[in-house]
Structure 1
Amino acid sequence: MPSRTQHTYVLVHGAWHDGRVWSRVAALLTAAGHRVLAPSLSGHGDKAHLLGPRIGLTTHIDDVVDLVLDQDLDDVVLVGHSYAGMVVSGVANRIPKRVARLVYVDAMVPVHGESAVDVMPLTRALIDGAAATAEPWRIPPLPELPAPYGLFGVTDPDDVAWLRTMLTDESVLCFQQPVELDDPAQALIPRTHVLCVGDEPPGVTRRPVPPTQPNGEPSRVHELRSGHDCMITHPGELADLLLLHP
Structure 2
Amino acid sequence: MSTYLLVHGAWHDGRAWNRVVPLLTAAGHRVLAPSLTGHGDHPRPMAPDVGLETYVDDVVGLILAEDLTDVILVGHSYAGLIVSSAANRVPDRVARLVYLDAMVPRDGETAVDVMPITQVLIDAAEDGWVAPLPELPAPHGLFGVTDPDDVAWVRSMLVDEPVLAYRQPVRLDDPAVAAVPRVHIHCVGSEVEGITRRPVPAGEPVWELRSGHDCMVTVPDDLAAVLLKLA
Equivalent residue for 1:55? 50
Equivalent residue for 1:225? 210
Q: Could you tell me how far 1:47 is from its partner in structure 2? A: 2.5
Q: Could you tell me how far 1:48 is from its partner in structure 2? A: 7.3
1:51-130 aligned at under 5 Å gives the runs 51-130=46-125
Q: Cα deviation per residue 1:91-124 (whole Å; 9 max; x = unaligned)?
A: 0000000100000000000010000110011110
Counterpart selection for 2:197 from 197, 200, 206: 206
Aligned partner of residue 221 in structure 2, secondary structure? helix
Q: Could you tell me how far 1:49 is from its partner in structure 2? A: 5.3
CA RMSD, Structure 1 to Structure 2 (Å): 0.9
Counterpart selection for 2:138 from 144, 147, 150: 147
Equivalent residue for 2:184? 193
Distance 2:34 2:230 in 1: 22
Specify every segment of 5 or more residues in structure 1 that has no aligned partner in the other structure, as ranges: 1-5, 212-217
Specify every segment of 5 or more residues in structure 2 that has no aligned partner in the other structure, as ranges: none
* Structure 1 position 171 matched with structure 2 position 156: no
- Structure 2 CA distance for partners of 1:48 and 1:162, relative to 1, 3 Å: farther
Q: Which stretch of the first structure deviates more once superposed, 65-74 or 46-55?
A: 46-55
Distance 2:110 2:43 in 1: 23
Q: Could you tell me how far 1:204 is from its partner in structure 2? A: 1.0
Q: What fraction of aligned residue pairs are identical, expressed as a percent? A: 66
Residues paired across the two proteins, number: 231
* Structure 1 position 34 matched with structure 2 position 29: yes
Aligned partner of residue 18 in structure 2, secondary structure? helix
* Structure 1 position 241 matched with structure 2 position 226: yes
Aligned partner of residue 79 in structure 1, secondary structure? strand
Q: Could you tell me how far 1:207 is from its partner in structure 2? A: 1.1
Aligned partner of residue 86 in structure 1, secondary structure? helix
Distance 1:51 1:184 in 2: 33
Q: Could you tell me how far 1:233 is from its partner in structure 2? A: 0.3
**Which amino acid counterpart does residue 192 of structure 2 have in structure 1?**
P
Counterpart selection for 1:21 from 16, 35, 45: 16
